[in-house]
Amino acid sequence: MADLELLRLDHAPALLAFEQENRAYFAASIPDRGDSYFASFAERLGDLLTEQAAGLLFFHVLVSGDGAGPAEVLGRFNLVDVKDGSAELGYRVAEKAAGKGLATDAVRRLCALAAGTYGLTSLRARTTLDNPASRAVLTRTGFVATGDIDISGRPGTSYIRTLS
């Protein structure tokens, strides 16, 4: 089973490898991060960890490993724009880990963390219409579609989930 861990600085090498190895795969369904993301990865990660320490966002990585070697990042699951008891959920899973139920399981666990640990009462999410896997994960984990939206020029759907 993969572990869902709050992002730490020591995740940086595995997280960067995850992003680089899956860049083309991710770009097929969401806007590409661009070359500048990779060029300034360490600085950006430091800034995000500072924001995380302030409670403005919570970044998580889904890691596998048997403890014998370095953990491998299989996905990232983020809560951003944390305010007034709510946050926006974003996630991405490695191509080789897709279709195995890992995203659904991790989103369920993150919803429990959001309510129990972070004190949130609702989560928002969005995805493009041409990303049926993401739409299925959101539906399976209790998110309800709230309307049609535009995501970087692509049609999409917004979702909400009330946490208990």
pLDDT digits (tens, 9 = 90+) for 74-98: 999 999 999 999 999 999 999 999 9
Given this model, what pLDDT does residue 66 score?
A: 59
- Residue 11, classified by CB atoms within 10 Å of its CB into exposed (0-12), middle (13-18) or buried (19+), is buried
Nearest to 30 by CA among 164, 159, 124, 151: 151
Given this model, what pLDDT does residue 136 score?
A: 96
CATH numbers and ranges of domains, the chain: 3-162 (3.40.630.30)
pLDDT digits (tens, 9 = 90+) for 145-159: 999 999 888 899 999
pLDDT digits (tens, 9 = 90+) for 118-148: 999 999 999 999 889 999 999 999 999 999 9
| Cα 112 → chain centroid | 15
Given this model, what pLDDT does residue 146 score?
A: 97
Alpha carbons within 13 angstroms on the beta-carbon side of residue 33 total 17
Given this model, what pLDDT does residue 36 score?
A: 82
Given this model, what pLDDT does residue 68 score?
A: 55
Q: Count of CB atoms within 10 A of residue 106's CB?
A: 24
pTM for this entry: 0.91
Q: How far apart are CA 59 and CA 48, in angstroms?
A: 8
pLDDT digits (tens, 9 = 90+) for 23-78: 998 887 777 787 888 888 989 999 999 999 999 999 999 998 655 556 799 999 99
